[in-house]
Structure 1
Amino acid sequence: MHYPEERPALSRVWELSARLLGLLSLWFGLMRLFPFEIAALERTFARYAWLPPAETAPALSLALAVLESGIGLALLLAPRGAWRKGAALAAMLFWGAGLALLFGAAAWIHDPPYGGFPVIGSGQTLLKHLGIAGLALGLYARERGCPHGRRRALYLLWAGQLLVLVWIGLMKFTLVEAQGVAGLMRPSPLFAWLYGPFGEQGASNVIGVIELATAASIALWPWRPALARWGLWLAIGTYVLTNTFLFTTPGWEPGYGFPYVGGTGQFLLKDLLLLAGAAVLLLSEPPSRAPAAAVRRPRA
C-alpha cells in the first residue's frame, strides 16, 4: 500500500497516538476480567431496558475483554498495514458505540432540583468517546492512505474537544458538579488551595471559566488556527493536571491499587487520548485555509 508522505514529527505524533490508544484499550480490556468491572457492567445493564439482562454481564464482560484487548494488542504491536487498519476501524466502532448510552436516563442527573438532560452525571465519561472515536477514525484513514478521511477525522477530534470542554465546563457551575469534583480537587495540592479563597462552589466556578475559555479558543481552529493554539495548549495542560488525580485521589480501584482502574481511573485516563490524540494532533495539523486555485480556460 502506498502511504502519503508525512513530516517526521507529524508521523511520530500519529504513531504515539496509535500506541497510546492501543495501550489504554489493552489496559481497560484486561480490567473487564475483574469483579469490579463485571459489577459495573451489571449495573449498566440494569439501568438500560434495551441492553442485555444483568445476569449476562459475566459472559459479555469476558467477550468485551477479548475484543478490547485484541484491539489494543493490534494497535500496539502490529506494523502499518491491514491488521492496524482493522484494529483502528474496530476501535472507532467500539468507542463510538458507547455514545449510545447517552440516550438512556441513567446518563443524566434526575435528583431534585435537576430533571435530567442536560444535567449530565455518569454520562460525562461518555462525552469523551466522540474525540476518541475521531482519533481511531484518523488512524484508520491514515492506514488507508486517505488524506481526506484523515482531515475529516481531525474535525471530529475538534468537535470532541469542544463537546467535553463546553459541557463539563458548564456543569462546573452547578452544585452537584461542585460537590462531585471536590472529591478530586481537595486531596490535590495543585487544586486544594482554591477552596480557601473561593469555597466549594467558587473553586468549581474557576475551573469552569478556564474550561469554557479554553473551548472558546479551540472553537476558532477551523478559521484561526494560530489563535486556537492557545486553547489547545491550555487543553493539554488541563488533561495533564487531571491525570495527577490518579495519584492524589487516588484513582485506583479500592482494595486493588495500581494498576487496577475502574470507573474513576478510566474516566481520568481517557484524557490522555484527548491530549495526545486530539489536542496534540490539532496542533500538529492545522486546517489548510489556502483557497483552491482557479482553473483558467484559454480563450479561443
Structure 2
Amino acid sequence: MEKIVNMLATSQNSFINFARIAIFIVMAWIGGLKAYQYEADGIVPFVINSPFMNFFYHSTGKYAEDKNGKLVPEYQLFKNPEGLMVKKNINWHQQNGTYTFAYLLGFVIVVIGSMTLLGIWFPKIGLWGALFTIGMSIVTLTFLITTPETFVPKLDGDFPSPNVGFPYLSAAGRLVLKDVIMLATGLLIASDSAKRILANK
C-alpha cells in the first residue's frame, strides 16, 4: 500500500497531462460528431432555449400546434430520432440554420480540445485551452436552467409519474450535469498551466 501511495503522490504532473488528453478526446470526438445530422439535430433544444446562443438559429421562439392541437415550441415538431432521417424535419433544420451552426460549433470545440492538449508542451496555449474549456462548461451548465428537456417532463396518461421536473434529470439533463467535471478539470489544468508559465519566467 505504501508503494501505491508514494506512486500516486509523485504522479500528479502525469495525471494532469492525462486530464489534458481526456479533454482532448472528449472535445475532438463530440466536436467532430457535430458534422453529422443526428448530433446537430440533438443540440437544438439546448441552443434554441439558450439566451447566449439562440441568435444562431432562425426559428427561435416560434410555436405551433402538435397533432393533438396543443401549442408547443415549433422545434419539438421536427425532432429526428437518432438513427432516422425524416426529410421534412431535415428541411426544417436546414432553414433553421441547425447544420451551419453545428459545423461552426464543432470546429470551435475541436480547436479548444487541441489547445488544451498542446498545453502538455506549450503552457501558454494550454492555459487558453483550459480557460475556454471553463467558459464552455459554464455555458453548457446554464442549459439546466434554460432547457425544459433537461428534466423529466409531465406526460398525460393513465399512470403519470410523480417523478417529474426538478430534481429529476432526464437523459439530456444527466449529460449536461457531467460538465461539472469538465469545469473542475479545466480549472485544475488552468492552474497548472499558470504555475508552469510563472516557473518559466
Q: TM over 0.5, yes or no? A: yes
- 1:181 aligned residue: 43
- 1:252 aligned residue: 151
Structure 2 counterpart of 1:149, from 11, 21, 30: 11
- 2:188 aligned residue: 281
SS in 2 for 1:219: helix
1:263 paired with 2:171, answer yes
Give the TM-score, by structure 1 length. Answer: 0.45
Structure 1 counterpart of 2:125, from 227, 230, 255: 227
Q: Give the deviation of 1:174 after TM superposition.
A: 1.0
Which amino acid in structure 2 is aligned with residue 257 of structure 1? G
Which amino acid in structure 1 is aligned with residue 175 of structure 2? F
SS in 2 for 1:165: helix
Q: Percent identity?
A: 28
Q: Give the deviation of 1:271 after TM superposition.
A: 0.6
Q: Once the two structures are superposed, what CA deviation does each residue of 1:18-44 show, in whole Å capped at 9, x if it has no partner?
A: xxxxxxxxxxxxxxxxxxxxxxxxxxx
Q: Once the two structures are superposed, what CA deviation does each residue of 1:131-190 show, in whole Å capped at 9, x if it has no partner?
A: xxxxxxxxxx8x868432222221221111001110111111111111111122112221
The alignment yields a C-alpha RMSD, in angstroms, of 2.6
Given the superposition, is the C-alpha separation of residues 144 and 270 from structure 1 closer, same or farther in structure 2, using an over 3 Å criterion? farther
1:190 paired with 2:52, answer yes
Give the TM-score, by structure 2 length. Answer: 0.66
Structure 1 gap ranges (5+): 1-140, 291-300
- 2:24 aligned residue: 162
- 1:126 aligned residue: none
Q: Once the two structures are superposed, what CA deviation does each residue of 1:26-77 show, in whole Å capped at 9, x if it has no partner?
A: xxxxxxxxxxxxxxxxxxxxxxxxxxxxxxxxxxxxxxxxxxxxxxxxxxxx
Q: Once the two structures are superposed, what CA deviation does each residue of 1:102-135 show, in whole Å capped at 9, x if it has no partner?
A: xxxxxxxxxxxxxxxxxxxxxxxxxxxxxxxxxx
- Cα pair 2:123 2:196 within 8 Å, conserved: no
Structure 2 gap ranges (5+): 59-94, 155-163
2: CA distance, partners of 1:149 / 1:253: 41
1: CA distance, partners of 2:38 / 2:165: 27
Which amino acid in structure 2 is aligned with residue 150 of structure 1? Q
Between structures 1 and 2, the one with greater helix share? 1
2: CA distance, partners of 1:200 / 1:240: 22
Q: Provide the aligned length of Structure 1 versus Structure 2.
A: 149
2: CA distance, partners of 1:144 / 1:198: 56
Structure 1 counterpart of 2:101, from 203, 207, 220: 203
Given the superposition, is the C-alpha separation of residues 198 and 254 from structure 1 closer, same or farther in structure 2, using an over 3 Å criterion? closer
- 2:161 aligned residue: none
Q: Which runs of 4+ in 1 moved over 3 A?
A: 143-147, 286-290
1: CA distance, partners of 2:187 / 2:24: 15
Q: Give the deviation of 1:201 after TM superposition.
A: 0.4
1: CA distance, partners of 2:24 / 2:51: 28
